[in-house]
């Protein structure tokens, strides 16, 4: 009877696996799968969970805070031993954390901060990602008019990325060397919203934009489309290591894609969630540090991995790591790109 009920729950919310195993069950709530990287994260996470002898079950919130809460309720009802939550909305996720805590279920906040000291925070150093985006673009264009294309306002990573950017360009802005002529959030991190924002910034400034800081590669693609339509090719930064973005780097239409190796992050989450499910204390995870950089300053146990900038000079790193083939990276590449020779 219990298995029949569980199977019904899984069918209702669309879990990716309904298998029951002898080991622990790790439930994963994904915010959405819009960006190509999330499937890479998922494969690595699932592999790590299964390597620990545990079972992976998941649900896709499809960019809905309400659906994510429902999904997590269903996972808790199933009796999962740990949760990994890639939160769609940092504020709306609160009731899910309360329910997990009431059931004694440990939680890993995956890639996006859930500012609650009962969760373990696992991500890349997103302030560092913003810093790298800005450093790469600033090196190419240290003066002029900048546009900043930001992600969804409900995602705390928007603030972290912007903080890192400010650390690089803040002094130049204060000195008048850089003028920020447009800064806009793109709802849902959608490339089409980013393209619309970029088009509006270009129109408002009669195309007098010299550089663009985009907070991910999908939005950088939207910005690149808007720029191309106006015959512009200017320094442009993004992040995620999207395959199309890496190819834009080789073609010379994107300056940098900060690659956060999703395989590394997903594997770490699977391992940590399995350890927590087995009873490890949240402050006993190897490599954890204390993090208190959120809006509320809550001190949390966290691991922040280091990202890798992919530029014309470091394109080989993504190829050699097997993240992208040489053929895909180098299609239509500029002359002189060493990795494409």
Residues 98, 112: one domain? yes
Residues 209, 273: one domain? no
pLDDT digits (tens, 9 = 90+) for 195-227: 999 999 999 999 999 999 999 999 999 999 999
CATH number at residue 326: 3.40.50.2300
Which residues, in sequence order, are CB contacts of 159 under 8 Å at separation 6+?
Answer: 295
Residues 269, 295: one domain? yes
pLDDT digits (tens, 9 = 90+) for 122-144: 999 999 999 999 999 999 999 99
Under the banding of pLDDT at 50, 70 and 90, the label for residue 36 is: confident
Residues 185, 326: one domain? yes
Residues 219, 278: one domain? no
pLDDT digits (tens, 9 = 90+) for 86-101: 999 999 999 999 999 9
201 compared with 18, residue with greater pLDDT = 201
Return d(Cα 292, Cα 4) in angstroms, integer. Answer: 43
Range of the domain at 7: 2-124+261-305
Residues 292, 182: one domain? no
Number of domains in the chain: 2
Residues 277, 163: one domain? no
pLDDT digits (tens, 9 = 90+) for 73-87: 999 999 999 999 999
Task: Provide the whole-model pTM.
Answer: 0.85
Residues 278, 248: one domain? no
pLDDT at 2 over 70: no
Residues 88, 120: one domain? yes
Residues 85, 192: one domain? no
Return d(Cα 266, Cα 157) in angstroms, integer. Answer: 17
**pLDDT score, position 22:** 63
pLDDT at 16 over 50: no
Residues 106, 192: one domain? no
Tell me what the pLDDT averaged over the chain comes to: 93
């Amino acid at each position: 009877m219990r298995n029949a009920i569980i199977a019904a729950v899984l069918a209702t919310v669309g879990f990716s696996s309904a298998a029951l195993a002898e080991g622990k069950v790790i439930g994963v709530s994904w915010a959405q799968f819009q960006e190509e990287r999330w499937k890479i994260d998922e494969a690595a996470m699932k592999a790590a969970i299964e390597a620990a002898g545990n079972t992976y079950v998941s649900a896709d919130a499809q960019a809905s805070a309400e659906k994510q809460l429902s999904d997590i309720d269903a996972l808790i009802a199933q009796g999962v031993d740990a949760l990994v939550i890639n939160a769609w909305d940092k504020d709306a996720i609160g009731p899910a954390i309360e329910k997990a805590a009431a059931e004694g279920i440990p939680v890993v906040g995956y890639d996006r901060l859930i500012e609650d000291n009962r969760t373990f925070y696992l991500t890349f150093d997103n302030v560092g990602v913003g810093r790298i985006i800005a450093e790469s673009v600033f090196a190419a264009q240290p003066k002029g008019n900048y546009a900043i294309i930001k992600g969804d306002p409900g995602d705390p990573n928007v603030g972290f990325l912007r903080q890192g950017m400010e650390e690089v360009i803040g002094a130049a802005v204060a000195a008048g060397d850089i003028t920020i002529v447009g800064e806009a959030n793109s709802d849902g991190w959608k490339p089409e919203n980013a393209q619309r924002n970029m088009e509006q910034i270009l129109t408002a400034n009669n195309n007098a934009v010299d550089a663009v800081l985009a907070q991910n590669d999908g939005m950088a693609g939207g910005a690149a489309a808007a720029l191309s339509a106006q015959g512009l090719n200017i320094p442009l930064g993004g992040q995620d290591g999207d395959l199309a973005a890496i190819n834009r780097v080789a073609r010379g239409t994107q300056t940098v894609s900060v690659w956060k190796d999703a395989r590394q992050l997903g594997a770490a989450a699977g391992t940590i969630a399995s350890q927590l499910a087995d009873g490890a204390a949240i402050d006993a995870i190897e490599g954890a540090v204390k993090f208190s950089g959120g809006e509320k300053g809550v001190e949390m146990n966290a691991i922040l991995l280091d990202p890798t900038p992919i530029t014309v000079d470091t394109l080989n790193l993504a190829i050699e790591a097997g993240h992208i083939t040489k053929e895909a990276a180098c299609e239509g590449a500029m002359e002189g790109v060493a990795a494409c020779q």
